Amino acid sequence: MGKEIEAQQENVKNLLNLVQENPELRILPLVDTECVVSDDYGSWVARWDTTEIDFVFVKDERMYRKSADFEDLVDEAMHDFDFSDEKARKIVDGYEWEKVILVNIVP
3-state secondary structure of 93: helix
* Model-wide pTM > 0.75: yes
What are the pLDDT tens digits along the chain (107 aa)?
689 899 999 999 999 999 999 999 999 999 988 888 877 888 888 888 999 999 999 988 899 999 999 999 999 999 999 999 999 999 999 999 999 999 999 98
Residue 101: strand pairing partners:
27, 53
- Do residues 103 and 32 touch, judged by C-beta distance below 8 A? no
C-alpha neighbours within 13 Å on the C-beta side of residue 57: 16
Distance CA 80, CA 82 (A): 6
Residue type, 33: T
